[in-house]
Amino acid sequence: MPYEYEKNGQAIYDESFATIRREAKLEAFDKDEEQVVVRMIHAAGMVGLEEHVKFTPGMVAAAREAMENGAPIFCDARMVSGGVTRPRLPADNDVICTLHADGIYELAKEIGNTRSAAALEHWRDKLGGAIVAIGNAPTALFHLLNMLEDPDCPRPAAIIGCPVGFIGAAESKDALWADQPVPCMIVEGRLGGSAMTVAAINAIASRKE
């Protein structure tokens, strides 16, 4: 056996979080925010990510309260919805992704947008008090913001805005941060993705590390 390495899963887990807390600059975050950021760093394997994560005041508390009250969690991609750890959910919350719902391709053509954006039209009447998690598609986040310009559109309890990529990702998150239509969090710039978004959901869902 030429390679020696840690084989105890719990020890790996514990030391990973201890390493993050040793190395990351977490002073700017309150206790609830810190827990979310630490899990996001763990998911990304990237100390330094904390410098790009921003929360509106009370966002984590608002999102957690909504989950505890049974709010559904709307996700832009199956990689997000599939990554949510169901036993962590406080109220057996529904986790919903409509990207592959019937008629999405046709609707996307009709509205001249991506399937990721068109999928949000299935959420429109159900957004009230919900959690929205955008982890992949900037077009979905832009479309959500346009939907929320309508005063008759129900307001979600919180938005996790972490789309990733080179075209529109930074701009969509900048727009969310500028508008702040509801409590929200973002990862600035091109960074983001399913793993970070799922980590945020799971951390909000349960304080257990």
Catalytic residues: 42
Query: How far, in Å, CA of 209 to CA of 206, rounded?
Result: 8
| Integer CA distances (angstroms), 68 to 64, 71, 130, 206, in order | 6, 7, 11, 10
Amino acid letter, residue 126: K
Is the distance from CB of 38 to CB of 202 less than 8 angstroms?
Answer: no
| Integer CA distances (angstroms), 184 to 49, 96, 131, 160, 175, in order | 17, 19, 10, 6, 12
Give the pair of three-digit tokens for residue 143: 């479309």
The separation between the first and the last C-alpha atoms of the chain, rounded to the nearest angstrom, is 33
Neighbours of 154 (CB within 10 A): 15
Task: State the maximum Cα–Cα separation within the chain, in Å, rounded to a whole number.
Answer: 65
